[in-house]
Chains A and B, each alone.
Chain A
Amino acid sequence: MKRCLSERTMWLVHEGAAPERDLAHLEGCLDCAARYGRLNEELGEITRALRDHASPIGRDVRRGRRRWVTAAAVLAGIGLLAGGEAVLWRQSNALVDPRPETTAEALSLLEEVTLLLSSPGVTAASVLVADPATVIAEMTSPESYEDDPIAAGGGGGGGRL
């Protein structure tokens, strides 16, 4: 009986480059057939492992997607922080910068209202129903102080507050 096939001849069979007599031996020898089956199986395992390991599709793509999601989340977070900061900054600026012309107007109005309310004989109701110009004129005229005991009496301890 012919000797069993060498490892190289076995591989040549796998490559389709072995002579006829080796193929004939392989068909008749159970031991060589088993070895040939193992060669096929192992080559398949190696090839699959290398293909999967080196393939850019799959794990790397998933990893890439995960990176994108993380980057997007970080960017969104930074955007939110920046937006919130801008809103806070605007509000604080509004407090620091009271807009002078508006304040002047408001102060003069407040002054007038205070004057009006503190003047004797003028009630809130009368202010509300009366013409503001008339009320102010009344307030500022010297006669308006006549009924005021403090102002009219001219007592030493008093005066208009």
Chain B
Amino acid sequence: MNGQAAPRWQAHCDALYRQHAARLVRLGRLVLGDKQEAEEVAQEVFLKLIRTYEGPVVPIDWAAWLTRVTINACRDRRRAGWWAWSRRHRAPEMLELVDGGASPEQAAAGAEFGVRIAAAFQRLSARQREVFALRYIEGMSTHEVAGTLDLSEGSVKRHLFRAVKYLRGALGEIKGDRGHR
């Protein structure tokens, strides 16, 4: 790479990082259910971004590219044997079902709701988590989700509806528990 091109690509990569890093960590965290893993995935994705930037074919829509690469990196992790093993052998609190940073009062009140919803979300299938995160958290259309995940729109809708149904049920239970206290 010549001396003039370096600052330009670096500036663009920096801008992409600032714009998308938090979003990709959040997406990875929802799909994998693990903050540390999600941060590692985001780092991997940005390394890939630099390599792709130097390559012959540069994507037109970097945001969509980053989302797709993040989802693929999460899938690769899920497929790895060690990942499944470590998840089986880790305590539930390590999988971020419990918020370690909140004070006991916060955990008992406001944060508990989010924690329980997140726990319910982690009980969805991997595909349902991906579809829900892309559609409702990332704000993609059903068509875009289908394109990102290489699925048909009908399949996306099916997964999405099941996820919504399950999460609404969990929300009802949580609200019921709160009402009884």
Interface contact A15-B142, CB-CB below 8 Å: yes
- Chain A CB count within 10 A is highest, among B26, B99, B160, for B26
CB of A43 closer than 8 Å to a CB of B: yes
CB of B9 closer than 8 Å to a CB of A: no
Interface contact B157-A17, CB-CB below 8 Å: yes
Instruction: Please tell me which one of the listed residues B101, B133, B168 contacts residue A42 in the complex, with CB atoms under 8 A apart.
Output: B168
Known: A8-B161, A43-B164, A55-B22. A49 touches B113 (CB 8 A): yes
Interface contact A54-B118, CB-CB below 8 Å: yes
Interface contact A15-B157, CB-CB below 8 Å: yes
CB of A7 closer than 8 Å to a CB of B: yes
Chain A 33-67 per-residue mask, 1 if CB under 8 angstroms from chain B, else 0: 00000010011011101111111110110110000
Instruction: Please tell me which one of the listed residues B99, B101, B117 contacts residue A50 in the complex, with CB atoms under 8 A apart.
Output: B117
Report, as a range, how many residues of chain B touch the other chain: 20 to 34
| Chain A residue at minimal CB-CB distance from B119 | A53
CB of B64 closer than 8 Å to a CB of A: no
CB of B102 closer than 8 Å to a CB of A: yes
Question: A interface, by DSSP: helix, strand, loop or mixed?
Answer: helix
Interface contact A59-B102, CB-CB below 8 Å: yes
**How far, in Å, is B62 (CB) from chain A's closest CB?**
20
Question: B interface, by DSSP: helix, strand, loop or mixed?
Answer: helix
Interface size on A, residues (CB 8 A): 25
Known: A15-B142, A52-B114, A60-B35. A46 touches B101 (CB 8 A): no
Residues of B within 8 A of A55 (CB): 22, 26
Known: A53-B115, A56-B22. A17 touches B164 (CB 8 A): no
Instruction: Please tell me which one of the listed residues B114, B133, B161, B165 contacts residue A49 in the complex, with CB atoms under 8 A apart.
Output: B114
Interface contact A46-B117, CB-CB below 8 Å: yes
Interface contact B161-A11, CB-CB below 8 Å: yes
Interface contact A56-B26, CB-CB below 8 Å: yes
- Report how far A8 CA is from B154 CA in the complex, Å: 13
**How far, in Å, is B141 (CB) from chain A's closest CB?**
9
Interface contact A43-B136, CB-CB below 8 Å: yes
| B110-140 contacts to A (CB < 8 Å) | 113-115, 117-118, 121, 133, 136-137
Residues of A within 8 A of B117 (CB): 46, 49-50, 53
CB of B159 closer than 8 Å to a CB of A: no
| Chain B residue at minimal CB-CB distance from A47 | B136
Interface contact B171-A42, CB-CB below 8 Å: yes
19 additional contacts, CB 8 Å, given A43-B164, A53-B115, A56-B26?
A7-B165, A11-B164, A12-B157, A17-B157, A46-B117, A46-B136, A46-B171, A47-B136, A49-B114, A50-B30, A50-B114, A50-B121, A50-B136, A51-B26, A51-B137, A55-B22, A56-B39, A59-B99, A60-B35
15 cross-chain CB contacts under 8 A: A11-B161, A43-B164, A46-B167, A49-B114, A49-B118, A50-B118, A53-B99, A53-B115, A56-B25, A56-B29, A56-B38, A56-B39, A59-B101, A62-B101, A63-B101
